[in-house]
Amino acid sequence: MSVILPESHPEHPFNLIPELCRKFYELGWATGTGGGISVKMGDRYFIAPSGVQKERIRPDEIFILNAEQEVVEEPRTTEKKLKMSECTPLFFNAYTMRNAGACLHTHSQNCVLISLLCEKEFRISHIEMIKGISNNVTKKALGFRDSLVVPIIENTDFEADLTASMAECMKKYPESCAVLVRRHGMYVWGDTWQKAKGAVECIDYLMELAIRMRSLGLDWEPQPKSVP
Amino acid sequence: MSVILPESHPEHPFNLIPELCRKFYELGWATGTGGGISVKMGDRYFIAPSGVQKERIRPDEIFILNAEQEVVEEPRTTEKKLKMSECTPLFFNAYTMRNAGACLHTHSQNCVLISLLCEKEFRISHIEMIKGISNNVTKKALGFRDSLVVPIIENTDFEADLTASMAECMKKYPESCAVLVRRHGMYVWGDTWQKAKGAVECIDYLMELAIRMRSLGLDWEPQPKSVP
Amino acid sequence: MSVILPESHPEHPFNLIPELCRKFYELGWATGTGGGISVKMGDRYFIAPSGVQKERIRPDEIFILNAEQEVVEEPRTTEKKLKMSECTPLFFNAYTMRNAGACLHTHSQNCVLISLLCEKEFRISHIEMIKGISNNVTKKALGFRDSLVVPIIENTDFEADLTASMAECMKKYPESCAVLVRRHGMYVWGDTWQKAKGAVECIDYLMELAIRMRSLGLDWEPQPKSVP
Amino acid sequence: MSVILPESHPEHPFNLIPELCRKFYELGWATGTGGGISVKMGDRYFIAPSGVQKERIRPDEIFILNAEQEVVEEPRTTEKKLKMSECTPLFFNAYTMRNAGACLHTHSQNCVLISLLCEKEFRISHIEMIKGISNNVTKKALGFRDSLVVPIIENTDFEADLTASMAECMKKYPESCAVLVRRHGMYVWGDTWQKAKGAVECIDYLMELAIRMRSLGLDWEPQPKSVP
């Protein structure tokens, strides 16, 4: 967000991040302390803590970082000692390389399954929900006949070790707003939190749909001729 | 609705549309800013805005149109600049051709899958929930032994370009209260918002059931002889 | 209930029936105005109205009947003209033949699918959740090694026409606390509303599990020898 | 918990157990009065009652036991006569053998299905969510490349009769924080209620994922060579 909201505003990151974490938890995207959310406001980066129950995060548990990834404000809670999310350097890939306004990380089962059904990329076309996703180069929404392409990187033993391969992948796929991590989950970003949230909803929908299509013997990327 | 409700009434379209949008979002019918809802009250048509998070729509974000599809009252919010739903001319097909009281649009995955499993129509019979759907010609509920028939039109690059083919389809299927859009979703209408909501719930239930039946090798439209 | 609760009590049928209807709706058991709920308190029978959105039923929309199935108190609402549930005579089968305290009716897809996978009965054994269901003759809970048997009757064009075949089926299966209606749904009853609710939850769980077992090639009623 | 919280605290077991029971119910882990939850605070063990609707448990319905499994405080409610959970001796296996801070019991369908697909153990590796589970010997989190191993014991006619075989199984599998009961459900424990909750969420996620993987023909425990 370029607009600076007061802390009392429901969309200030102190309130928004807990709300989105609860929502991700309910969707099964952030159970068992998995997943993570970060949002930029002005020149500050707000990041959820690590290793905690995502649906119970409170406004006073959020870290604030500057563009150098330094903590400029610790969580205000005095009740517990919190660690910053291990996803932090991965979130910053989106902030520095794509000038994102928010970066979201899910452990959705749909992502894991798609990463096992595809080798290097997930591709799907000719589904209306593709139009909810932006091309990071043209800055325009994908068209119905375009292929959504989500690249896949290999998982590592420690989350932070994904940083370089995610960055390399983002260079190779400049149009993409998401990276799948095999056997793990997905990172999705957008110019604003609204766009990042819209993108993750569209991509997860398309992945779930693709798995159901596979079970019914339906193609993900039909030949143009065979689609009216 | 022919009765004019005060704005404070929970079923006034200002309150009803946000409530139904939240519900559609929770059902996965309107995620990623997809889907749409419109309701008629008196001679006014209330329509949700386009390209916004459907579960966050507020009463002051609703457009009011007259029968000529002209905006007679802009959303009252001063916080954002809203666009009217691109579904508007499609909603008006239901208002002008069927004298509907409400028209609903979902992106349900069940609709997309059924549109890929069927060529020109989805047909199902001998399931109790069929009785929750009205025949638009006889104005009576379908019977248990009747076939529900939902016609399918091809998707287009822009939503508004569906207007003519949807209208043509509605002429060809005068009894139907719904049109499937291949690889996209469904439009459903009713004499009242209650009937439209009941119809979309019944049809989506029947489509989900049909997909599960297919996986188990069960017929959608059994020969009368084989059903007691 | 033999205890007479005041109307303000959350478990008085005026409050309990709307709550359970909302719950059934959320579970997909009562969408599109389907399903129904009735509860006995003292010598009065409380029954939800017909053809309405089940999740919106209010306390002033409930009918009260006596043992002769006569309405002794109309719904108090003056806003709408309500019809009594068409399930009423079926509910009374449970009240008169089994001295039930509540009778519930769902349109769960699991019931419809099981009714299509089985001919005359659904049978399952050796699953812990079977122990949540009572035998109507012995009045004891089923054991882990017992077979749950739910008989199936054929659907009719009008709900009330199921009354005789349901009664006949109940005579033939005196131990059962439920009857499946093919291509339609299920009736479940219990000595109290708590027992009826527990039974419908256990049976629906077992039917959903059975469908998933079928997809994985697993037997519903294994030979005793093959189970330790 | 080693910290003693006041009864008004939302995480005091009087409030926490009802909250977690509601949550388990919504997840389908504790429907039909199934499942159970116990939490330790100081030298006291708080246990939910048996045979009641888990989503309606209130603070005044919780039993308090000492380390000898004796009731030191009956539920305070005067409205009903409650029985202690039949899971009590099984919960105490976790308290006495592993010094657990909480022990949870679910009837999740995923557990039942996995117990039917595996003979003596459920094994899965190379999925990120495995890292949310602790090894009870090393006290460290499992790594991405480790195999999660959950042993399976046979069900018995009465819950309490599982006590000895569960204890024997726990001796044989000292690293495990969970035991599956075939055709029944799962017991999961942790040093704190937060860890037990995180573990049950991760394990259930992995079991659901494994069932979906099986349907798609994907391996649960790939050869190290075949995983990058």
Q: What does the DSSP 8-state code read for residue B52?
A: S
- Find the catalytic residue in A61, A86, A128, A168: A128
Using the structure block, give the residue that is written with the tokens 């009368």: B224
Sign of the torsion formed by the C-alpha atoms of D216, D222, D223 and D227 = positive
Mean pLDDT of the residues in chain C: 95
Q: Whole-angstrom Cα distance, residue A34 to residue A14?
A: 19
Cβ distance D135 to D175 under 8 Å? yes
Query: What pLDDT score does A2 carry?
Result: 74
Decide the pairing of beta strands D147-153 and D178-181: parallel
> For chain C, where are the alpha helices, taking DSSP H only?
13-26, 88-98, 109-117, 163-172, 193-215
Query: What pLDDT score does A228 carry?
Result: 55
Superfamily per CATH, domain C13-215: Class II aldolase/adducin N-terminal domain (3.40.225.10)
Contacts of A210 (CB under 8 A, 6+ apart): A114, A117, A122, A124, A220
Query: What pLDDT score does B225 carry?
Result: 63
Q: Residue C79: which pLDDT band, with cuts at 50, 70 and 90?
A: confident
* Residue among C96, C101, C95, C72 at smallest CA distance from C84: C72
Query: What pLDDT score does A227 carry?
Result: 57
pLDDT digit string, tens, across residues D105-114: 999 999 999 9
Query: What pLDDT score does A196 carry?
Result: 98
Per-residue CA distances from A225 to A145, A146, A209, A221, A222 (Å)? 12, 14, 22, 11, 8
- Per DSSP, the three-state class of D119 is coil
Q: Whole-angstrom Cα distance, residue C108 to residue C91?
A: 17
* Residue among D89, D86, D104, D66 at smallest CA distance from D166: D89
Q: What does the DSSP 8-state code read for residue A141?
A: B
Cβ distance A5 to A12 under 8 Å? yes
Q: How far is residue D161 CA from its own chain's centroid?
A: 17
Query: What pLDDT score does D79 carry?
Result: 86
Q: Whole-angstrom Cα distance, residue D83 to residue D75?
A: 10
Query: What pLDDT score does D2 carry?
Result: 74
Q: Residue C226: which pLDDT band, with cuts at 50, 70 and 90?
A: low
Q: Whole-angstrom Cα distance, residue D12 to residue B121?
A: 57
User: Chain D 160-199, CB below 8 Å of chain A: which residues?
Assistant: 194, 197-199
CB < 8 Å to A112, chain D = 127-128, 209
DSSP element (H, E) containing C87: none
Please tell me the distance in Å from B109's CA to the nearest CA on chain A.
6
Residues of the binding site of B for Zn(2+): 105, 107, 184
Cβ distance B95 to B103 under 8 Å? yes
Q: What is the pLDDT along chain A (228 residues), one digit of tens a residue?
A: 778 999 999 999 999 999 999 999 999 999 999 999 999 999 999 999 998 999 999 999 999 999 999 999 999 998 889 999 999 999 999 999 999 999 999 999 999 999 999 999 999 999 999 999 999 999 999 999 999 999 999 999 998 899 999 999 999 999 999 999 999 999 999 999 999 999 999 999 999 999 999 999 999 999 866 555
Report the DSSP beta bridge partners of residue C134.
Answer: C141
Task: Report yes or no: B141 at the C interface, CB cutoff 8 Å.
Answer: no
Q: Whole-angstrom Cα distance, residue B204 to residue A205?
A: 17
Contacts of C217 (CB under 8 A, 6+ apart): none
Q: What does the DSSP 8-state code read for residue B51?
A: S
Q: Above 80 in pLDDT, residue C227?
A: no
Record: contact A53-D216, CB cut-off 8 A: no
- Find the catalytic residue in C128, C168, C201, C208: C128
Query: What pLDDT score does A43 carry?
Result: 96
Q: Whole-angstrom Cα distance, residue D61 to residue D50?
A: 10
Q: Above 70 in pLDDT, residue B202?
A: yes
pLDDT digit string, tens, across residues B143-186: 999 999 999 999 999 988 999 999 999 999 999 999 999 999 99
Burial of B115 from C-beta contacts in 10 A (0-12 / 13-18 / 19+): buried
Q: Whole-angstrom Cα distance, residue C195 to residue C101?
A: 9
Helix, strand and coil in chain A, % to nearest 5: 35, 20, 40
Cβ distance B142 to B130 under 8 Å? yes
Q: What does the DSSP 8-state code read for residue C135?
A: -
Q: Above 90 in pLDDT, residue C228?
A: no
Q: Which residue has the higher pLDDT, D228 or A224?
A: A224
pLDDT digit string, tens, across residues B84-113: 999 999 999 999 999 999 999 999 999 999
What is the per-residue DSSP string for D121-135? EEEEES-GGGGGSB-
Q: Which residues of D115-137 are buried (b: 16+ CB within 10 A; e: fewer)?
A: bbbbeeebebbbbbbbbbbbbbe
Q: Whole-angstrom Cα distance, residue A180 to residue A109?
A: 12
Q: How far is residue B81 CA from its own chain's centroid?
A: 26
Query: What pLDDT score does C64 carry?
Result: 98
Q: Above 80 in pLDDT, residue C225?
A: no
Q: Which residues of C90-115 are buried (b: 16+ CB within 10 A; e: fewer)?
A: bbbbbbeebebbbbbbbbbbbbbbbb
Record: contact D212-A109, CB cut-off 8 A: yes
Q: Whole-angstrom Cα distance, residue D33 to residue D49?
A: 10
Q: Whole-angstrom Cα distance, residue A57 to residue A80?
A: 12
Instruction: Provide the edge-to-edge strand list for the sheet that holds A178-181.
Output: A71-73, A63-65, A44-47, A36-41, A102-106, A185-190, A178-181, A147-153, A121-125
Per-residue CA distances from A58 to A1, A105, D20 (Å)? 20, 18, 18
Q: Is C221 a catalytic residue?
A: no
Contacts of A34 (CB under 8 A, 6+ apart): A54, A107, A185, D128, D129, D132, D202
Query: What pLDDT score does A79 carry?
Result: 86
Record: contact B53-A198, CB cut-off 8 A: yes
Q: What does the CA dihedral D212, D218, D223, D228 come to, rounded to 10 degrees?
A: -90
Mean pLDDT of the residues in chain B: 95
Q: Which residue has the higher pLDDT, A89 or C223?
A: A89
Q: Residue B226: which pLDDT band, with cuts at 50, 70 and 90?
A: low
Query: What pLDDT score does D225 carry?
Result: 64
Q: Above 60 in pLDDT, residue B228?
A: no
* Residue among C21, C79, C26, C81 at smallest CA distance from C46: C21
Give the neighbours of chain B: at least 3 Cβ pairs within 8 Å.
A, C
pLDDT digit string, tens, across residues C18-56: 999 999 999 999 999 999 999 999 999 999 999 899 999
Q: Residue B205: which pLDDT band, with cuts at 50, 70 and 90?
A: very high
Please tell me the distance in Å from B183's CA to the nearest CA on chain C.
24
pLDDT digit string, tens, across residues D59-94: 999 999 999 999 999 999 988 899 999 999 999 999
- Other Cβ atoms less than 10 A from the Cβ of B79: the count is 9
* Number of Cβ pairs < 8 A linking chain B and chain C: 63
Record: contact B113-A216, CB cut-off 8 A: yes
Contacts of B168 (CB under 8 A, 6+ apart): none
Q: Whole-angstrom Cα distance, residue A198 to residue B32?
A: 4
Q: Above 60 in pLDDT, residue D212?
A: yes
What is the per-residue DSSP string for C51-71? SS-GGG--GGG-EEE-TTS-E
Question: How long a stretch of residues is chain B?
Answer: 228
* Residue among B67, B40, B65, B38 at smallest CA distance from B54: B38
Helices D193-215 and D109-117: angle between axes, nearest 10 degrees: 60
Query: What pLDDT score does C223 carry?
Result: 80
Cβ distance C122 to C149 under 8 Å? yes
* Residue among D66, D113, D95 at smallest CA distance from D166: D95
Query: What pLDDT score does B227 carry?
Result: 57
Record: contact A214-D212, CB cut-off 8 A: no
Q: Whole-angstrom Cα distance, residue A195 to residue B55?
A: 14
Record: contact B143-C157, CB cut-off 8 A: yes
* Residue among C126, C121, C122 at smallest CA distance from C224: C126
Query: What pLDDT score does A225 carry?
Result: 63
Give the neighbours of chain C: at least 3 Cβ pairs within 8 Å.
B, D
Per-residue CA distances from B140 to B11, B131, B133, B191 (Å)? 25, 10, 9, 12
What angle (nearest 5°) sits at the alpha carbon of residue B96, between those of residues A131 and B68? 80
* Number of Cβ pairs < 8 A linking chain A and chain D: 63
Closest alpha carbon within chain D to A214: D216
pLDDT digit string, tens, across residues B216-225: 999 999 986 6
What is the per-residue DSSP string for B107-144? --HHHHHHHHH-SSEEEEES-GGGGGSB-TTT-SBPPT
What angle (nearest 5°) sits at the alpha carbon of residue B205, between those of residues B204 and B209? 115
Q: What does the CA dihedral C48, C54, C59, C65 come to, rounded to 10 degrees?
A: 0
Structure tokens, D69? 């499994």
* Residue among D127, D216, C121, D143 at smallest CA distance from A158: D143
Record: contact C144-D154, CB cut-off 8 A: no
Please tell me the distance in Å from D74's CA to the nearest CA on chain A.
30
Q: How far is residue A171 CA from its own chain's centroid?
A: 17
Would residue B48 be called left, alpha or beta, if left means φ above 0 and alpha means ψ between -120 and 50 degrees? beta
